Structure 1
Amino acid sequence: MPKAAPFETHTERYEDWFEKYDDAYQSELNALDRFVPATGRGIEIGVGSGRFAGPLGIDIGIDPAEAMLEHAQERGVDVVKGVAEHLPFRDDTFETALIVTTICFVDDIPRTLAEADRILSESGSLVIGYIDKDSPVGQIYQENKEQNPFYREATFVTTEELLEALEAAGFTDFEFVQTIYQWIDELDGPEPVEEGYGEGSFVGIKASR
């Protein structure tokens, strides 16, 4: 079952995070902006309240939480209720598929990646943004997950685990960016965005065939 209940119940708490930790949010946006093109049809899988799809110019968002979709629609995103493992779109529909801080919440990562692959055009790209399980922020989130209604049900992944799943799904070409190098309470402005992974807690991957 999709882990949508906390996002239906605690929608305002979710929204408040972006206001409280705006420096972290802007850092993540800046990282993903490197990989999301300004043209071509795009979808965000697990769009939430549209905090990424809206600024990044993504056309369509899908999510199982209706309360979140209402916010996404207000941010100019065309919304569809559904889950990552069963996308209600035809093959070869999009040039970009975006998944941000959602991969830890899906029920089936291989199925999610296979569906993303299916709906992408031959030249399309999958862009994933996530908190690396082995990173400092990832470790703190895991240590305190029982106190957080969102992360209580999350299953964090390492970059190596995600790369293995992407390769199994047929993706072969990868680019990486990273940001957020300290705990988010300590940020004083957006963090730099650098190539690679292993130092920043937030990692972006652009995957194609």
Structure 2
Amino acid sequence: MSEQETEAYCSEIEHAMHNLSAVREHISRSYEMPSATNVREKYGIKYNTPFAEKDEADYVITRPFVDAPPESLEAQLTAGSLRGPHMFASFPMVFSKTKQGVKSGGGTEGDGMVVVHLGKNLCGYKGVIHGGLIATLFDEALARSAFYSLPHHVGVTGKLELRYRKPVAADRFYLIETEVVETVGRKCFVAGFLLDPKNRDVLAEANGVFIEPRWAKYASWVGSVDMRKHLDK
């Protein structure tokens, strides 16, 4: 693809993502962080429904890695190596539950919905997304929710279990919904579901345990790492 064709393809995917009913239904209860605003304005996307005020919103919308320097993404898998037409043509759109959302609807801060498009070049069998990639998506989505609950907002994967229910067809949008089940000290237990946005069929489900390293508290003490700010970009 030429640069112009690539941009046109990515723009088409981005517009289609914003037109999903699952996205539209969340807008009036959400507010945007700069990463989400930058993408939306880049492609000239507008909503008929206004966003919620920050202190009244049930969700915060972020687009992870959008504002990261290109050189920092060279070693990243989903945000770098697999980024492009017919792979990950658009950065994931993440809706994370706020403290206000917990008050109004229950759950835990950081429970989320991740919207992704999976291109035709991410397959194991032709037309079917590779199961290992699905595991990677769950790992990233569940970890993000866990980070909100861990004491210093950082953790590593201790355990990840998946159950594949149905084939995941390529070149379609999907939702990954996550919920924190329990947090015990430096361990956070999170569940997730991969859904077809059209009918909410569950195509795969996962459970993960994420553990905060002992060194995390020292990183925060010296101010070298502010993990929470990375969740809110």
TM-score interval for Structure 1 and Structure 2 normalised by the shorter chain? 0.3 to 0.5
Higher normalized contact order (CA 8 Å, seq sep 6+, divided by chain length): 1
Instruction: Compare CA radii of gyration and give the structure with the larger one.
Output: 2
TM-score of the aligned structures, taking structure 1 as reference length: 0.35
TM-score of the aligned structures, taking structure 2 as reference length: 0.32
